[in-house]
Chains A and B, each alone.
Chain A
Amino acid sequence: MVTVQTRAGEGIVVVGAGQAGVQLVDSLRTAGWTGAITLIGAERCLPYQRPPLSKDFMKEEGGEPLFLRAERFYSDAGVDLRAGVEVVSIDRAGKAVTCSDSSVIPYGTLVLATGARTRRLAIEGSDLAGVHELRTLDDAIRLQSALADARRVVVIGAGFIGLEFAAAARPRGIDVTVLEFADRPMARAVSPEMSAHFAAEHAAAGIDLRCGEGVVRLVGDAKVRAVVGSSGTEYPADLVLVGVGVLPNDDIAAEAGLPVDNGIVVGEDLCTADPAIYAIGDVARYPNPHARALSRLEAVQNATDQARFLARALVEQPRGRRYDALPWFWSQQGGWKLQIAGLAGPDDECIARSDDTSFSVYRFREGRLVAVESANNPGEHVAARRILSAAQSVDPDRVREPGFSLKQFAAAS
């Protein structure tokens, strides 16, 4: 049990109870913060893990939501969890937030971990019944229940969410078509080689993946009946999932006069232009040394590593610390586990490697290793994280050698 010791107005208020917000309050207590902590979440339920929602949760046997922490964690840790409450405005001069339930909560330090929301299609028919999105637990429960009666599913967007869902739905005997505007799946996240690998695997699993096919409208009476592609082709559907990315929830920051630009802009210490306000997780746009640019990452690793970093910085108060953790990502698509260590740009060199059970793409910039994309090779992914975190590299020519193993290379270096 934590005995809270701060006076009102000196506490830490965390807006957003997703992976970043919950990790932050946990890490604050671990780091020894004994002041008040308020955690405000827009969703009514106990904070939960989002990644399983597009994977195991969509399988025939369904699944239970996985909560990030048990209910008693919050009371034991002395965290005032306000679930089902949205922050509507920030009063920076008065250092307080106003909530949707009219409560006003003063803060000493404010952390915005407001995450992102799904991007919606602004086309005819996108509000028909049977058209779904997938971000929240409520979305997932609705989709899971609709899937039980679905025969033909069209997924709009071949990103992680769309492909994970497609791969989980297909083994249920459902016809699945995926429409992707770009010329390859996961174009924002992986190399053309890795896109091609996954396109082939999804095709082999019976998923009809159509790249270079935008969507012009959805048709139906009350309920969706088909999706019309930019080629003019009509794809029959009794269920549509729209998975075309997310938008950062940076509105309250913008309205409070904080700089936003596709996310809340923060410095290398994750602090906004206001020294009492920080942003972490999906909503934070930070100077990323691995990208050599401002970047906003949508990932569990980014959320939890930024939360741990900030907790220590807030408790130990060393100004001038720099958040520089190596980004990594994963996606589970049917029998294929995609793991990415590091960040690569579109112009970075690709060296593909494959064996009986796995496929990898090594990414180089000016001869230096910057990212490794691995499919079904967790040992290689772990080795890549070690090497890239230590700012080490490997000679591209060695990677081209037939017997090369990054795991052995990492162990020897």
Chain B
Amino acid sequence: MPEVTYRLPDGTSQTLRDITPGTSVMRAAVSRGVPGIIGECGGQVICATCHVYVDREFLDVLPPMGDEEDEMLETTASPRDPERSRLSCQLTMGPGLERVCVDVPAEQEAW
């Protein structure tokens, strides 16, 4: 079953195991209480509050980035990393993406 490791801004990390295939990295974090990932729009690629930095070793196996995600990444509260930034609602775990490690940014909300 897929697993995701979230490294938090305070230096700790949380690994979620046995994630149901088809679940996004955002939804797994929100439903299991990983702090710092909000998902305010529910995964509609509108709010950019599920921003993560993906570890380089996983960049090749991620689902490709759509235009909407690319545009919304311009609005993140923490700076966009040209290679590592993704919206975690667009990273669906399952076949092809069994494991991923991400850094949760310091800020998600523009306040």
Given A330-B41, A382-B75, are A72 and B46 also a contact pair (CB < 8 Å)?
no
Asked if B94 is at the interface of the complex by the 8 Å CB criterion, the answer is no
Interface residue count on the A side (C-beta < 8 Å): 26
B33 touches A69 (CB 8 A): yes
A52 touches B42 (CB 8 A): yes
Given A52-B43, A330-B41, A332-B44, are A66 and B72 also a contact pair (CB < 8 Å)?
no
**Pick the contact of A300 from B41, B43, B45, B67 — CB < 8 Å?**
B41
In the bound complex, what is the Cα–Cα distance between A51 and B40 (angstroms)?
10
**Pick the contact of B33 from A70, A300, A304 — CB < 8 Å?**
A70
Contact with B along A278-309 (1 / 0, CB 8 A): 00000000000000000000001000100010
Given A51-B42, A52-B42, A337-B68, are A379 and B74 also a contact pair (CB < 8 Å)?
yes
Least CB distance, A2 to chain B, in whole angstroms: 13
Interface residue count on the B side (C-beta < 8 Å): 21
Residues of A within 8 A of B109 (CB): 308
Residues of A within 8 A of B31 (CB): 66-67, 70
In the bound complex, what is the Cα–Cα distance between A410 and B91 (angstroms)?
29
Contact with B along A367-397 (1 / 0, CB 8 A): 0000000000011001001000000000000
A66 touches B30 (CB 8 A): yes
In the bound complex, what is the Cα–Cα distance between A73 and B42 (angstroms)?
18
A378 touches B111 (CB 8 A): no
Given A76-B33, A378-B71, A379-B71, are A51 and B27 also a contact pair (CB < 8 Å)?
no
Residues of B within 8 A of A71 (CB): 33
In the bound complex, what is the Cα–Cα distance between A378 and B87 (angstroms)?
14
In the bound complex, what is the Cα–Cα distance between A51 and B111 (angstroms)?
23
Given A72-B33, A73-B33, are A66 and B43 also a contact pair (CB < 8 Å)?
yes
Least CB distance, A135 to chain B, in whole angstroms: 16
B27 touches A66 (CB 8 A): yes
Given A70-B32, A76-B33, A308-B109, are A330 and B71 also a contact pair (CB < 8 Å)?
no
A51 touches B71 (CB 8 A): no
Q: How many A-B residue pairs have CB under 8 A?
A: 57
Residues of B within 8 A of A51 (CB): 41-42, 44
Which of B30, B42, B72 is packed against the most chain A CB atoms within 10 Å? B42
Residues of B within 8 A of A379 (CB): 67, 71, 74
Residues of A within 8 A of B105 (CB): none
In the bound complex, what is the Cα–Cα distance between A394 and B43 (angstroms)?
31
Residues of A within 8 A of B45 (CB): 378
Residues of B within 8 A of A337 (CB): 44, 46, 68
Asked if A49 is at the interface of the complex by the 8 Å CB criterion, the answer is yes
**Pick the contact of B71 from A49, A52, A382 — CB < 8 Å?**
A382
Asked if A38 is at the interface of the complex by the 8 Å CB criterion, the answer is no
In the bound complex, what is the Cα–Cα distance between A76 and B32 (angstroms)?
13
Contact with A along B15-42 (1 / 0, CB 8 A): 0000000000001001111000001111
Asked if A339 is at the interface of the complex by the 8 Å CB criterion, the answer is yes
Least CB distance, B104 to chain A, in whole angstroms: 15
Least CB distance, B34 to chain A, in whole angstroms: 8
A382 touches B74 (CB 8 A): yes
Q: Of all chain A residues, which has the CB nearest B69?
A: A378
Given A67-B30, A76-B33, A378-B45, are A300 and B40 also a contact pair (CB < 8 Å)?
yes
**Pick the contact of A70 from B30, B44, B46, B111 — CB < 8 Å?**
B30
> CB within 8 Å of B: which of A61-99?
66-73, 76
> CB within 8 Å of B: which of A22-80?
49, 51-52, 55-56, 66-73, 76
Least CB distance, B74 to chain A, in whole angstroms: 6
Given A308-B111, A379-B74, A382-B71, are A66 and B42 also a contact pair (CB < 8 Å)?
yes
B46 touches A330 (CB 8 A): yes
Residues of B within 8 A of A66 (CB): 27, 30-31, 39, 42-43
Given A52-B42, A337-B46; 13 other pairs, CB 8 A cutoff: A51-B41, A51-B42, A52-B44, A66-B27, A68-B30, A69-B30, A71-B33, A72-B33, A332-B44, A339-B46, A378-B46, A378-B67, A382-B74
In order of increasing CB-CB distance, the 9 nearest A-B pairs are: A70-B33, A379-B71, A52-B42, A378-B71, A49-B42, A72-B33, A378-B68, A382-B75, A308-B111
| 17 A-B pairs (CB sep. < 8 Å) | A51-B42, A52-B42, A52-B44, A55-B44, A56-B42, A66-B39, A66-B42, A67-B30, A70-B30, A70-B31, A72-B33, A339-B46, A378-B71, A378-B72, A379-B67, A379-B74, A382-B75
